[in-house]
Amino acid sequence: MEDLIKLLDKNGLVFAFLLVGAVMSVSYFIAKRLTNNKVPGAAIAITFGLIIAYFGKEKGIASVPAFSGVAILGGSMLRDFSIVSTALGASFTEIKKTGWVGFFCLLVGTVVAFVVGGSIAYIMGYTDAKSMTTIGAGACTFIVGPVTGAAVGASSEVIAISIAIGVIKSVFVTILTPFVAKRLGIDNPQSAMIFGGLVGSTSGVSAGLVATDPKLVPYGALTATFHTAMGCLICPSILYYFVQLIF
């Protein structure tokens, strides 16, 4: 048994291919047979992924011996590499059509998330400027939260909360998007870009769009990645400045 665990850990990435392939095939089977393709296989597979992660620790299932390779396959390097590759299906003319509205989305999305997050933090008793700023930043994405927290010097407890917020957001976006996409009009490249820019959370947006319509992934992911950039830029600077002014 111990030898087997050692072997699987040593060949982690290969074991992850096998594992994820198995999860995918079960999910697509369920999607086809049980839901008649009404619920996308990708959505079921991602939900399975999250449930599996619950059995692990900091790195989800990858914290469990023998499963460490899952963190390589799902780590930031391969994730970003494959996100970038989806750009092949995107057309530059479609991107240009969104134009300044796309940029405006990034700004508004960041500020709205920040204000909502900061206000709730205040109501829940985190009334100092540093904590409010960090929690507000966490409402953007789970990268913006810790980056901002480190920049303004927030406590590690608050930084941990800001990461948790970002993770909850990405999980929530992943699950919610396929169900509300039609009602919100997310069915073309422009609205997908607006969606990505407003909501941010690259992982949530792209996972949610995969389950909605894979053709829209590159558009949503493109603006979503700039959402994180916008957040890292304005949360610890301009927005922190305003929070200090008010409180």
Partner 1 sequence: MKIYGVSILAGCFLAGHILGDLLGKFFHLSGNLGGVGFAMLFLILMYDYLKKKNLLHEETESGILFWSKMYIPVVVAMSASQNVKAALSGGWVALLVGILATVACYLLIPIFTSLSQKNN
Query: Could you say which residues in the range 144-183 bind partner 1, by CB under 8 A?
Result: 147, 150-151, 160-161, 163-174, 176, 180
Kindly tell me which residue out of 124, 156, 238, 241 binds partner 1, with binding defined by CB under 8 A.
124
Contact string 82-101 vs partner 1 (x = CB under 8 A): xxxxxxxxxxx--x-xxxxx
Cα-based distances in Å from 141 to 202, 218, 227: 8, 18, 8
CB of 244 to partner 1, least distance (A): 18
CB 48 within 8 A of CB 27: yes
Q: Which is nearer to partner 1, 34 or 137 (CB)?
A: 137
Regarding 243 and contact with partner 1 (CB under 8 A), the answer is: no
Measured distance CA(50)–CA(78) in Å, rounded? 18
CB of 236 to partner 1, least distance (A): 7
CB of 33 to partner 1, least distance (A): 19
CB of 5 to partner 1, least distance (A): 18
CB of 93 to partner 1, least distance (A): 10
Contact string 189-218 vs partner 1 (x = CB under 8 A): -xx--xx--xxx-xx--xx--x---x--xx
Cα-based distances in Å from 11 to 72, 80, 235: 11, 22, 41
Kindly tell me which residue out of 8, 70, 154, 159 binds partner 1, with binding defined by CB under 8 A.
70
Measured distance CA(205)–CA(212) in Å, rounded? 10
Residues in 5-24 that interact with partner 1 by CB under 8 A: 16-17, 20-21, 23-24
CB of 127 to partner 1, least distance (A): 13
Kindly tell me which residue out of 10, 112, 127, 244 binds partner 1, with binding defined by CB under 8 A.
112
